[in-house]
Structure 1
Amino acid sequence: MSRVFQSESSNYFLLLGITLFMVVFGLVMVLSSSSVDSHTDDDNFFARFLSQGIFAAIGVPLMLVASRIPSAWWKRLAWPMLIASCGLQAATVFTSLGVRINQNKNWLEIGGYAFQPSELIKISLVLWLGMFVALKWERIRQWKYGLLPVCIVSVVAIGLVLGGGDLGTTLIMAAIVLGTMFFVGIPLRQLFTTAVIASGIAVVFAVSRTSRLERILSFLHPGGTDPTSTGWQMQQSDFGLARGGIFGVGLGNSTSKWNWLPAASTDFIFSIIGEELGLIGAIVVLGLFVFLAVVLIRIMNANTDPFARTVTAAVTVWLIGQALVNIGVVLGLVPTLGVPLPLISSGGTALISSLFGIGVVLSFTRTTSPKKARKAQPR
């Protein structure tokens, strides 16, 4: 229990500060980008902003509570959390409790409230990877003790999400696993073979549905895409970015959000940022994620505990990788996958899971006070 009362390090305040700043910035941009859609759907310009604000009000205290929990507790909770989250995802896919949105059955509705169990699987998988690597640290580079068990467990968790049809979240989870295994030192030959197999499965799944195949073809041949159909979203995103120029049209002055750009407050919020705040605003957002990555890597390097290092690496791959995919989609560098911009896009479950993951990393930055440190020194 003494861990709970240990003092904060500089890394703690750096990570906490950048996280809170990004959440507040995200709330401002959600208010701006969602006001028209909110009025259209709920006759209230502030509906989605208030909803996101409620989730932020839940997520931030949850992050602070998580930051006080000792590492030993996270290790004990890894298996129960993974099993419970996979059970919820199974209920989403195989029972009538699952809600289908945009052809993906990835929402679970209980008591009138809907959430995404796949986001819970992300954080559970992160904790499980940390627990497993810490347990097998001495033999983690041996295929049958390291990558093979990780692949078996990960395939079950990722397969359940894939069963719901969410290819974007599936790819992010696969990246978390492979990226984390790279950070812990798994030989590149093993990772390359695994990545090739995973890529083959992803390609087969991607072309198994007409809507996904159309997105891929639109990405590969943008000039031949019907601008009034499959190419509409990317075309409107490009128009918004072009209108923004260097300095932007001003906060709240976007025209794309007036029912022109679909998913303006979620998957394509970066386009609204580029339109309203211009190239400068877009660069600032990129800079925020770069700074976040630097702080997370500092925390990882400052720890000698394999569990803390692995979990921090997994959270880094998760948040930064997802941000790169989201921004890549908006810029036309990646096919449309439907993943939100971490900490900024509208989406309650995604925001809470991201804050919870950061809270776990914050718990690794706790340091002993000078007085306790002196007592702990050998005589």
Structure 2
Amino acid sequence: MTAEHPAPFVARSASPGARRTGAVRPRAPRGEAAVYAPRRRPRPRPPRAPRLLARLRRAWDRPLTAYYVVMGTGLLITLLGLVMVFSASQIQALRHELPATFYFRKQLLAAVLGTVLLFIASRVPVRLLRALTYPFLACTVALLVLVQVPGVGVEVNGSTNWIAVGGSFQIQPSEFAKLALVLWGGDLLARKGEKRLLTQWRHLLIPLVPGALLVFGLVMVGGDMGTVMILTAIVFALLWLAGAPTRLFVGVLATAAVLGALFIATSPHRMDRLACLGATDPGPGDRCWQAVHGIYALASGGWFGSGLGASAEKWGELPEPHTDFIFAIAGEELGLAGTLSVLGLFAALGYAGIRVAGRTEDPFVRYAAGGVTAWLMVQTVINIGAVLGLLPIAGVPLPLFSYGGSALLPTMFAVGLLIAFARSDPAARAALATRGPGLKWKTKRRRARTPSGER
């Protein structure tokens, strides 16, 4: 622009700081119209709910999220289970003329041993784990056979599934059969997948299904149909992860349903449990007493419960308050808030297990993680569904929560495997490597002072 034709004056709006300090907007020269620059409108912020979901999604996509979720939820469920066992088992112990903390001390010992097993499982190499699957399965089958030997097996609540170890300690081999089937089935399918044999239905089913049927039969001889249901769910999960065709999957499912219906129809005790589904009255002979009082315990808890240790149903009204129906006692003492917290922990554990199985590139890790997740989640659904009156009572404990060392030890080992599998992810391994061993103190680096007179 020349002096004869000066550039038009553009006046900008004063900044917020200028308005606060009383600054005057510059005026345009005389005879010229002021041209003001348009004000920029602030961009609208997204609502808080989508922003929160986006943050949660980013946090969940981090490499170490599944690692910390599995570890945290597993330990929290175990600790909360110890508290509830302490509360729910005291009356049962006193009724059997035992010290009030008898069951709690045994569960605490099992939790300590289980923590050691969890640590070992989280550190064992996958190659060594796969090498031990067949010996572990053989030992489990031998124990299942030993249970049926007269004088060795111990009958509890109509089922012969226990072996007396010494004193008041007993082991239940059918609980270890779940872990053995997961590891053996995972290793078997991984080996067949490496040879590209899983596209043939014969290699997909044999020897997995015959071996599983052998374990099913040994467990059913003892009368434990609840454990057989969980073992069946493990086999279905392995077949699903192996890519079984839909028609083959439906055929196996239909066969299992027919066999299950046959076992139920031939047992009056199981028919009584099926008849108590959704019952609101104990019925003739009080055959639905346990199911009805489980509902009573949950209903009397309200929003926040009657308080820890203040359950009324555990005073002889509800059978097995510290084992199969400990969730009902938790609902009575901790209320809806407590039961929803327990459900949230199990849901987080299951979701993390699914993520571990879905993100790994190792076939064995995928099968084993999927089998463990199916085991824990199906057992949780069966137990809580029975307490809520939605499923027949199957006599299975709530994983990591109910009393029982034989159930707690293999379950904590399985959680340790999930931790190891989550850490074996390449991105998680790289993230852990950047942190280095141990804890790092977040302190500023101090520069070394140079002696006086030196530069």
Give the number of the structure whose residues are more often helix, by fraction: 1
1:223 and 1:271 map into 2 onto residues whose CA distance is 15
Is the contact made by 1:123 and 1:357 (CA closer than 8 Å) also made in structure 2?
A: yes
Structure 2: runs of 5 or more not aligned = 1-62, 435-455
Amino acid of the residue matched to residue 12 of structure 1?
Y
Distance 1:67 1:228, change over 3 A: same
Partner residue in 1 for 2:248? 190
Partner residue in 1 for 2:179? 123
Partner residue in 1 for 2:202? 144
1:129 and 1:357 map into 2 onto residues whose CA distance is 14
Is the contact made by 2:276 and 2:291 (CA closer than 8 Å) also made in structure 1?
A: no
Equivalent pairs: percent with the same residue?
37
Matched, 1:162 2:220: yes
1:161 and 1:116 map into 2 onto residues whose CA distance is 10
Partner residue in 1 for 2:110? 55
1:93 and 1:192 map into 2 onto residues whose CA distance is 33
Is the contact made by 1:182 and 1:188 (CA closer than 8 Å) also made in structure 2?
A: no
Partner residue in 2 for 1:135? 191
Is the contact made by 2:153 and 2:163 (CA closer than 8 Å) also made in structure 1?
A: yes
Partner residue in 2 for 1:305? 362
Can you list the C-alpha shifts for 1:202-224, whole angstroms capped at 9, x where unaligned?
1211222221121112227x367
Partner residue in 2 for 1:205? 263
Matched, 1:84 2:165: no
1:102 equivalent among 157, 171, 192: 157
Can you list the C-alpha shifts for 1:322-368, whole angstroms capped at 9, x where unaligned?
00110000001101110000000111110111001111222223344
1:187 and 1:224 map into 2 onto residues whose CA distance is 44
Matched, 1:343 2:343: no
Other structure's SS at 2:207 match:
helix
Distance 1:121 1:371, change over 3 A: closer
1:365 and 1:244 map into 2 onto residues whose CA distance is 37
Distance 1:225 1:111, change over 3 A: closer
2:218 and 2:379 map into 1 onto residues whose CA distance is 19
Can you list the C-alpha shifts for 1:107-149, whole angstroms capped at 9, x where unaligned?
0123443100011111111100110111111222421011242
Partner residue in 2 for 1:4? none
Q: CA deviation at 1:79?
A: 0.9
Partner residue in 1 for 2:445? none
1:224 and 1:56 map into 2 onto residues whose CA distance is 37
Is the contact made by 1:267 and 1:338 (CA closer than 8 Å) also made in structure 2?
A: yes
Q: CA deviation at 1:228?
A: 5.1
2:250 and 2:225 map into 1 onto residues whose CA distance is 21
Q: Which deviates more from structure 2 when the two are superposed, residues 172-181 or residues 19-28?
A: 172-181
| Count of matched residue pairs | 365
Amino acid of the residue matched to residue 251 of structure 2?
T
1:24 equivalent among 58, 79, 98: 79
**Structure showing greater Rg:** 2
Is the contact made by 1:140 and 1:147 (CA closer than 8 Å) also made in structure 2?
A: no
Distance 1:14 1:224, change over 3 A: closer
Matched, 1:242 2:306: no
Root-mean-square deviation over aligned CA pairs: 1.9
1:172 equivalent among 230, 241, 266: 230
Q: CA deviation at 1:266?
A: 0.6
Is the contact made by 2:282 and 2:292 (CA closer than 8 Å) also made in structure 1?
A: no
Distance 1:100 1:135, change over 3 A: same
1:98 and 1:371 map into 2 onto residues whose CA distance is 47
Partner residue in 1 for 2:38? none
Structure 1: runs of 5 or more not aligned = 1-7, 374-379
1:171 and 1:310 map into 2 onto residues whose CA distance is 19
Higher relative contact order (CA 8 A, sep 6+): 1
1:321 equivalent among 371, 378, 381: 378
Is the contact made by 1:147 and 1:186 (CA closer than 8 Å) also made in structure 2?
A: no
> TM-score when scaled to structure 1?
0.92
2:359 and 2:175 map into 1 onto residues whose CA distance is 28
Can you list the C-alpha shifts for 1:11-44, whole angstroms capped at 9, x where unaligned?
3332111111110000001111111111222432
Amino acid of the residue matched to residue 253 of structure 1?
A
